Each structure stands twice: as structure tokens, then as C-alpha cells.
Amino acid sequence: MTAALLAMISAAVFGIADFLGGFASRRARVMAVVGLSQFAGLLLVAGLLPVLPGAFGAEALVWGMTAGLAGAAGLVLFYWALANGTMSVVAPVTASTSAAVPVVFGLATGERPQPLALAGVAVALVAVVLVSRTAEAPKAGTTARPVVAAFVSGAAFGGFFILLSLAPDNAGMWPLVGARLASLTLIVTLALATHQTLKPGPGSLPFIVGAGVLDMAANVLYLLAVQSGGMISLVAVLSSLYPVGTLLLARYVLGERLGPVQLAGVGFALGAAVLIAAG
């Protein structure tokens, strides 16, 4: 129950972080938002090391760095797919794949959730697809490449959750330090190679910092859920319900309207959380 609660809070915090990141992206270039938010997250996790101590070791850092590279690669592919494909296709493909991959991994490695929890996982996967749908019309000349990129992006995001879970349970927050160092290095290298600025746009810095701090806080909660003995097939899928939070904030803060499909997705997400927690 503790692991499930931590994962659900993680999803809520991820949702707020994504909302702030999306808001910041309207005022600054995407690479600047990603790079600076990653740096803010690194500062947070470094500050948490004395509070949530763990055993420093090469294994923890290596798993974390590998996870960070997977997450950063997934982010780059996701943005490329959004820019070159149709959002109503790319977003749900990425979201559902990122949720499904840890579930498949967990079951393949011997995890056996209760039937009620497994039913919750199935409902959660449906919820992720529904809340990620948009009413955007397909782009003219859309090819299969953005869809393939969306699948790979989702697999990379799912891999991030898996790789973090493979770090030693006594490692504390060191895997997240390794993850953020690796992802930040990759993003800065890409920015320099493509001559993209990391300078924030006017008025965007508070939103960027907020997004980075909350994103890392959500990662911390996820890692604590895993380290407390939570099954990755349950914890990761609960954390993957974060689009619900982003969607609700867009509705009540920005006044964006929710379609019937998205509203159904919110209902499915609530049902999934209840089933998994009860199981």
C-alpha cells in the first residue's frame, strides 16, 4: 500500500511538472526548457542526499546513468515525433508503450500481482491511451517514421523506470544523481552540436525551475516506491498516469476543454488506482 501511494503521488507531481514544462515551452525554446529544468532537478537531488542517504557505489551510478541516457534519448525522440507526426497518434503511442514496457518486464522477471491489481494495470493502460488522445487532425504526408519514433520513445521512457529499479535498494538517491548527470550531459552536448541556445525566454525561468524541481521530486517518490518493495509492474504503471494531472491542470488553470474520450480516460485512471491499491 505504501508503494502504491508513493507511486500515485509521483504521478500527480509528474503531471504538475509536465504542465509547468509545457507552459515554459511557450516562452522559451524546448532545449532551454529541458536543459535548465534538468539542472534544477540535479540541484534538488544533490540537496536530498544528506536527508535520504544511501550507499554510494559504482553500481548505483551506472544503473542511474544508463537510465538517464534512456530517458534523455526518449525525450529527444518524443519531441521529434511530435514535430513530424500527428500528436493524437504520437502521444498515446508513447504513453501506452512507456507504461506497458515495465509491466511486461515485471511479469517476465517473476512478479505476480494479485488478480485485482492486474485488472487495475489493464485499466490503467487504457486510461493512459485515452487521456493522451487529442482532436488534432492528421498531418498531410504523415509517414510511419514518427509512429516508430513514438514506440521507441515510449520504450526508452519505460526503460528509464526499469533501469532505476535495478539499482541496489540501499543506494538511496545516488541512482538519480547518476541519471541526471548523464541526461544533462547529453542534452547540453546536443544543444552545442545543433547550436541551440540554453538561455531561457523572458518570464520562463520560474516555470522551468518549477518543472525541473517537481520532475525530480516525482522521480524521488518513484524510486522510494521501488525501494520500499513495490512491484515495478504496479509502481511504474501508476506513475505513468501523470497525463491525468497535466490534463486537469490545463482544464482548470488554462480553461482548455476536455473531450469525452479524455474525460473517460480520467475515470479509467481513478478506477485503475483504486484497483491496484486494493490489490
pLDDT, residue 135, reads 65
> What amino acid is encoded at 137 in this protein?
A
pLDDT digits (tens, 9 = 90+) for 242-267: 888 877 888 888 787 878 888 888 88
Give residue-wise pLDDT tens across range 13-53: 988 988 888 888 778 888 888 889 999 999 999 999 999 98
CA distance 119 to 96: 16
What pLDDT does residue 88 have?
67
Report the chain's mean pLDDT, rounded to a whole number.
Answer: 87
204-225: average pLDDT: 93
Please tell me the predicted confidence (pLDDT) of residue 257. Answer: 80
What are 110-145's pLDDT values in tens digits?
988 888 888 988 998 888 888 877 766 555 555 678
- Distance between CA atoms of 74 and 118, rounded to whole angstroms? 26
Cβ neighbors of 58 (< 8 A, separation 6 or more) are none
Give me 16's grid cell: 504538475
Q: Where are the chain's structural domains?
A: 2-278
Instruction: Supply the pLDDT for residue 40.
Output: 95
The three cell numbers locating residue 118: 492486474
Radius of gyration from C-alpha coordinates of the chain:
18
Least confident of 73-87, 176-190, 263-277: 73-87
